[in-house]
Amino acid sequence: MRTRLSTAIAAGNLLLPDTGRLLVTRLPAVLAPEFDPARTDIVHGFAPEAEAWRAAGFTATPEPTGQGYAAALVGLPRARPLALGLLRQAAERLAPGGMLVLDGQKTDGVEPVVKALKGAFGPVEALSQGHGKLVWLTVSGTLPDAVAAWPDLAPSEGSAGWMTAPGVFSADAIDPGSALLCDHLPPLAGTVCDLGAGWGVLARAALAASPAITRLDLVEAEAAALACARLNVPDPRATFHWADALQARGSYDAVLMNPPFHAGRAADPALGQAFLRTAARLLKRTGVLALVANRHLPYERVLDDLFAQVETRADAGGFKVIHARHPRSGPRKAA
Ligand SMILES: C[S@@+](CC[C@H](N)C(=O)[O-])C[C@H]1O[C@@H](n2cnc3c(N)ncnc32)[C@H](O)[C@@H]1O
């Protein structure tokens, strides 16, 4: 596959250092052929992508652990604060004279981030291809003050009193859909799974409302969101799993979710529908799925196929809260 990175390397435009270690942050694993696993540390916060890098023979961690890299390459995420935070983190881990590389799509906002890079470091070299841009520069001397002002990626307390981090879902305030679900949770007891738990708003509300919950598993693919959830849900019944929810295993009395419906920038209701199928697979026959979704999302037909009883319990502000009971099939034990 021809990518901006392979084009720039093959054309001799981008000359990655021959020696020293490389830090590769948030680039997709389809770029694995461009790198040597023996000298490359992969950092990816999204569990399925980290797993894809591991499958390609690399060591992948959610956060960087090394220092003194000869080059650091960053894949642009959609959230600008996260993009700047990742660039700062990468620049701080370079050896003197190290190379900083950014690759991103126009639709993910690469141009304003390139502008910020130029504002901080001066001119950059660039390759435009496939509706995106690859830029690179050498970082010599101490880092410019502008870079130190870019976001720190550690969890911090937001305006609503919750710990959140740049780029996590609803980082600035509780999502109104999630708030509606918190107000319309069913009575919960036994084992509960929060699929796509984010920074933990549903889990915390459920644990506070239901003393009969014995264990609540928070499953979240984004490591940064899960790190916040650990701080927001200090309850001994909670356990935290950095994992792809679609691969979750277990047998639960209840599943909670505000399912994702975007893969990257594109709306993808199939992702939310896959979450519904996963919930049906995880639930005991007496189990209940409680979910919230934007009203327009096409979930009812899938829910009717999966569950014997599907009820809309709230419909407000463009969101619907649905309780679905009695999953129809699957290898489940009776409660
Ligand atoms: C709409 S947000 C809801 C977050 C949280 N439950 C809330 O109500 O604020 C969906 C969450 O699913 C996570 N997610 C997306 N794909 C995932 C996957 N394959 N496995 C686990 N979590 C995933 C996202 O990172 C995001 O935190």
DSSP string computed for 289-310: EEEEEETTS--HHHHHHHEEEE
CATH fold of the domain at 4-148: Rossmann fold (3.40.50)
pLDDT at 49: 98
d(CA 282, CA 280): 6
pLDDT band at residue 295 under the 50/70/90 scheme: very high
Q: Which of 258, 291, 319 to mutate to test the pocket of ligand 1 (most atoms within 8 A of CB)?
A: 258
Q: How much is the mean pLDDT over the chain? A: 95
Instruction: Flag whether pLDDT at 143 surpasses 80.
Output: yes
- Cβ–ligand 1 distance for 246 under 6 Å, the answer yes
Which pLDDT belongs to residue 303? 98
Nearby residues of 225 by Cβ (< 8 Å), 6 or more positions away: 165, 168, 169, 197, 198, 199
Tokens for 256, please give them. 């909670």
In the reported structure, the alpha carbon of residue 265 is separated from the centroid of ligand 1 by a whole-number distance in angstroms of: 14
**What ranges do the domains of the chain cover?**
4-148, 156-327
Structure pTM?
0.95
Structure confidence at residue 335 as a pLDDT band (50, 70, 90): very low
Q: Which of 67, 70, 88 is nearest to 15 (CA)?
A: 70
Q: Region 294-315: what's the mean pLDDT?
A: 96
Task: Compute the distance between CA of residue 174 and CA of residue 179 in angstroms, rounded to an integer.
Answer: 7
Q: Report the DSSP beta bridge partners of residue 262.
A: 267
Q: Is 153 helix (H, G, I), strand (E, B) or coil?
A: coil
Q: Which contiguous run of DSSP H or E holds residue 7?
A: helix 4-10
Ligand 1 contact, 197 CB (< 6 A): yes
Q: Is the CB of 289 under 6 A from ligand 1?
A: no
Cβ of 202 less than 6 Å from ligand 1: yes
* pLDDT on residue 266: 66
Please indicate whether residue 282, judged by its CB atom, sits closer than 6 Å to ligand 1.
no
Q: Which ligand 1 atom is nearest residue 48's CA?
A: 19
Burial zone of 140 (CB within 10 Å; 0-12 exposed, 13-18 middle, 19+ buried): exposed
Q: How many CA atoms lie within 13 A of 38 on its CB side?
A: 2
Tell whether the model's pLDDT for residue 185 goes beyond 60.
Answer: yes
Give the whole-angstrom CA distance, residue 72 versus residue 147. 15
**Which neighbouring-strand residues pair with 118?**
none
Q: How far is the CA of 225 from the centre of ligand 1 (A)?
A: 9
Categorize the per-residue pLDDT at 330 as very low, low, confident or very high, splitting at 50, 70 and 90. Answer: low
What is the distance between the alpha carbons of residues 157 and 100, in angstroms, rounded to a whole number?
Answer: 30
Asked if 53 contacts 29 with a C-beta cutoff of 8 angstroms, the reply is yes
Separation of alpha carbons 47 and 38, rounded Å: 21
Residue-wise pLDDT tens digits, 212-271: 999 999 999 999 999 999 999 999 999 999 999 999 999 999 999 999 987 666 677 899
How high is the pLDDT of residue 265? 62
Write down the pLDDT at residue 263: 65
74: helix, coil or strand? strand
- Token pair, residue 261, equals 């419906």
Please tell me the residue having the least CA distance from ligand 1 atom 8. 178
Ligand 1 closest atom vs CA 197: 6
By alpha-carbon position, which residue is closest to atom 13 of ligand 1? 196
* 29-78 per-position pLDDT tens digit: 999 999 999 999 999 999 999 999 999 999 999 999 999 999 999 999 99
pLDDT in tens, 147-167: 999 999 999 998 778 999 999
CA 258 to centroid of ligand 1, rounded, Å: 7
DSSP lists the bridge partners of residue 23 as 41, 72
The alpha carbon of 195 and the centre of ligand 1 are apart by a number of angstroms equal to 7
Contact 13, 143 (CB under 8 A): no
Fold of 156-327: Rossmann fold (3.40.50)
Integer angstrom CA distances of residue 31 from 96, 103, 192: 26, 11, 37
Q: Ligand 1 centre from 326 Cα, in Å?
A: 24
Q: Do residues 207 and 216 lie in contact, with contact meaning Cβ atoms separated by under 8 Å?
A: yes
In short, whether 166's Cβ falls inside 6 Å of ligand 1 is no
Q: Which residues pair with 263 in a beta bridge?
A: 266
**pLDDT of amino acid 59:** 97
Mutate to test the pocket of ligand 1, among 26, 168, 169, 277 (most ligand atoms within 8 A of CB): 169
At 159 the pLDDT is: 73
Q: Render the burial of 279-292: b for 16+ CB within 10 Å, e for the rest.
A: bbbbbbbebbbbbb
- pLDDT for 251: 97
For 188-204, the pLDDT digits (tens) are: 999 999 999 999 999 99
pLDDT band of residue 334 (cuts 50, 70, 90) is very low
Task: Say yes or no: do domains 4-148 and 156-327 share a fold.
Answer: yes
Q: How much is the pLDDT for 253?
A: 98
Ligand 1: which residue has its CA nearest to atom 5? 198
pLDDT at 283: 97
Can you tell me the distance from the alpha carbon of 12 to that of 24, in angstroms, rounded to the nearest whole number?
20
| Phi, psi angles (nearest 5°) of residue 150 | -70, 155
Q: Does the pLDDT at position 331 exceed 90?
A: no
Decide if 326 contacts 306 (C-beta within 8 A). no
Q: What are residue 163's DSSP bridge partners? A: 157
